[in-house]
Amino acid sequence: MTSPPTLSVNRTAVQWSPVCGRYLVARGAAVGHGLLIEELPFAVGPKCNGPVVCLGCYQFDADTEEEYCSECGWPLCSECAQDEGNHHFRAECRVLQDARARFFPLPKGSSHCPQLDCILPLRVLLAKETDPERWDSQVEPMEHHEEERKEDADVWHADRVNIAQYLRGPCKLSSRFSEELIMQVVGILEVNAFEARTTRGFPLRCLYPYTGILAHNCVPNTARSIYPSEGYKIRLRAMVDLKDGQPLHHSYTYTLDGTAQRQRHLKQGKYFSCTCERCQDPTELGTHFSSLKCGQCTEGYQVPRQPTDSDSSWNCNNCGASSSQAEVETLLQSLQSEVNKVQGLEMGAKRLEEAERLLRKYKSLLHPLHFIATGLRQLLIEMYGRVQGYEMVQLPEHQLERKVELCRQVLGVLNVFEPGLSRTRAMNLYEMHVPLVLLAKNGFIASRLSGGELRTRLVDAIDLLKECVEILECEDKSSQEGVLCGVAAQALKQLLLSVEGLGSELN
């Protein structure tokens, strides 16, 4: 029986530029949500700097006694020990067993298991031997930024000792893999691997040699989904309509961070500075997502003169008053510290009320759509309707309207930074439909709305749910997004029946 092709769908082409290196473009026009790539991973394994996990299912439970493979003695739960098709048994177990490479359990309280850092690099190396053609054509050319990684001497030394020297020493692989090759693999994974989750929600890393060469942009035009139930197959879809030959982008960083924060993350983790349109625009495409209220006038906002410069001055767009980058960073660090304290509170009324207090406080310091304010709104959206004292059916109308307002403000930002097929947009669409329905029903019961007006309001909520389901219907059913899709689809069905009943009554 032949194995399935690793790249079963490919509606893209590879191009090269001095700036991006290899990157992907659309091959033919594609409509939003259209499937562009379907690819199986080259290797799958545990995250670096993580705890002890089962090497078959990546499950971690600090309260459960660790279990080990009867063949090699490395972490393996009893369920995975019965499944010889899992990743651990694909030559890896034999390497560890033949070398008698002993696994040392961690002392209680330890959160990082350095021994497991070698597992995914080992799996890549073993896959290189079994699939040399794919290695040569797709994996070996991937960026690994060796010289830049060497500049962080502590991390480079730790990787060299914990991974390269461990595989060549205790694992007795020196005759098969050079230190240079192993460090290249470590770099490829650091720069290109994607994080995924198992069907039970445990994190891991996957290497996709073809999808992994997507270029970065802080306003992506593609969305990816990973399917653990299909061998961690990845599917890449167009977020918006694409033209033939249009470069494909995804975001290597969190789109709801400000420019300075995104630049710092990219420089430290991906070894480049972004020069996309959003990063070069002081107002971040008109959103003012990083802008500060001017302290010298009442109308202006301070924006960075050179957004991609780590030492740029900040100038008011109304009166010209200036602040240094150091002053701005000191302010933001202070505000972020306050936000972190609120996020650290137990989920409950106090956390919600503190988040609202900070939003009010920051009105005099930040643009209304600043990323810190947007993050607080996202936090509040998740709490309104869920925490004790603020359950959805108990919320007064002004708090239902508050949740709708919060959703609209966050969606306004997402419509700019994550247009189209965005999971974050879908979740906010779902969150917004619930208070809209309750407000409509309350208005009808109180005789403030006629039957026709109630129907119109419910149709608006139906439109939100339809878009939510349309975005999420291609997600893995076991994922958080896939589960939400099922919930939204059921809510949509019930609303459609309600509107159908109203139509009959009105006729």
Does 86 score more than 60 pLDDT?
yes
- Whose structure tokens read 């740029």? 312
Q: Which residues contact 481 (CB under 8 A, 6 or more apart)?
A: 225, 423, 426, 427, 472, 475
d(CA 217, CA 279): 9
Query: Is residue 375 pLDDT above 60, yes or no?
Result: yes
The answer on 126 and 57 residing in a single domain is: yes
pLDDT of 365 reads: 97
Q: What does each C-alpha distance from 243 to 28, 370, 385, 391, 403 come to in angstroms?
A: 7, 32, 42, 46, 37
pLDDT confidence of 506, banded at 50, 70, 90? Answer: low
Task: Indicate if 32 and 110 belong to the same structural domain.
Answer: no
Question: Looking at residue 7, what is its pLDDT?
Answer: 86
Residue 362 lies in a domain: no
CB-count exposure of residue 106 (10 Å: 0-12, 13-18, 19+): middle
Residue 480 has pLDDT above 70, yes or no: yes
Q: Which residue has the higher pLDDT, 504 or 482?
A: 482
Residue pair 223/148 in contact by the 8 Å Cβ criterion: no
If asked whether residues 223 and 179 sit together in one domain, one would say no
Q: Does the pLDDT value for residue 120 go beyond 50?
A: yes
Query: For a pLDDT cut of 70, what percent of the chain falls above it?
Result: 98
Q: What are phi and psi of 421, to 5 degrees?
A: -80, 80
Rounded to 10°, the helix 325-343/371-383 angle is 10
50/128 same-domain check = yes
Domain boundary among the residues 207, 237, 267 is at 207
Q: Residue 36: inside a domain, yes or no?
A: yes
* Other C-beta atoms lying within 10 Å of the C-beta of residue 392: 14
Nearest to 177 by CA among 130, 144, 132, 129: 129
- Token pair in block for residue 361: 């406080």
Reported pTM: 0.91
pLDDT of residue 473: 95
How do strand 35-39 and strand 7-10 relate by DSSP bridges? Answer: antiparallel
64 and 189 assigned to the same domain: yes
| pLDDT of res. 109 | 66
How high is the pLDDT of residue 90?
80
Q: Does residue 18 sit in the same domain as residue 132?
A: no
> Rounded distance, CA 422 to CA 419, Å?
7
**Residue 125 resides in a domain:** yes
Please check whether residues 122 and 232 belong to one and the same domain.
Answer: no
Structural domain contains residue 162? yes
pLDDT-derived band at 478, boundaries 50, 70, 90: confident
Q: To which H or E segment does residue 483 belong? A: helix 480-506
pLDDT score recorded for residue 3:
53
For residue 61, is it within any domain? yes
| Tens digit of each residue's pLDDT (9 = 90 or more) over 221-258 | 999 999 998 999 999 999 999 999 999 999 999 999 99
> How confident is the model at residue 374, as a pLDDT?
98
Residue 207 reports pLDDT greater than 60:
yes
> What is d(CA 14, CA 247) in angstroms, rounded to the nearest whole number?
10
Residues 219 and 198 in one domain: no
Q: Give the up-direction half-sphere exposure of residue 258: CA atoms within 13 A in the CB hemisphere.
A: 27
One domain, residues 80 and 218: no
Section 10-27 average pLDDT = 93
Q: Residue 319: left if φ>0, alpha if ψ -120 to 50, beta else—which one?
A: alpha
For residue range 273-283, list pLDDT tens digits in order: 999 999 999 99
For 140-159, what is the mean pLDDT?
Answer: 94
502/213: higher pLDDT: 213
DSSP H or E segment with residue 380:
helix 371-383
Q: Of 175, 207, 239, which closes a domain?
A: 207
Asked if the structure places residue 197 within a domain, the reply is yes
DSSP letters spanning 298-361: SS-EEEESSTT-TT--EEETTT--EE-HHHHHHHHHHHHHHHHHHHTS-SSHHHHHHHHHHHHH
Claim to verify: residue 155 and residue 101 sit in the same structural domain: yes
d(CA 366, CA 195): 33
| CA–CA gap between residue 211 and residue 37 (Å, rounded) | 7
Q: Are residues 224 and 132 in the same domain?
A: no
Q: List phi, psi (to 5°) of 197.
A: -135, 145
Is the model's pLDDT at 108 over the cut of 80?
Answer: no
Residues 45-67 have pLDDT tens digits of 999 999 999 999 999 877 678 89
Q: pLDDT tier at 1 (50, 70, 90 boundaries)?
A: very low
As to burial, measured by CB atoms within 10 angstroms (0-12 exposed, 13-18 middle, 19+ buried), residue 137 is: exposed
Same domain, 168 and 36: no
Between the alpha carbon of residue 316 and those of residues 32, 178, 302, 333, the distances in Å are 38, 56, 4, 20
Contact between 142 and 191 under an 8 Å Cβ cutoff? The reply is yes
Q: How many domains does the chain have?
A: 2
Q: Contact at 8 Å (CB) between 41 and 80?
A: no
In a domain, 11, yes or no: yes
Evaluate whether 321 touches 295 at the Cβ level (below 8 Å): yes
| Average model confidence (pLDDT) across the chain | 94
Q: What are the helix and strand counts (H, E) for the chain?
A: 17, 15
In a domain, 500, yes or no: no
Residue span of the structural domain in which 200 resides:
43-207
The average pLDDT across 93-107 equals: 92
Q: Which of 179, 207, 235 is the last residue of a domain?
A: 207
Domain at 37, CATH number:
2.170.270.10
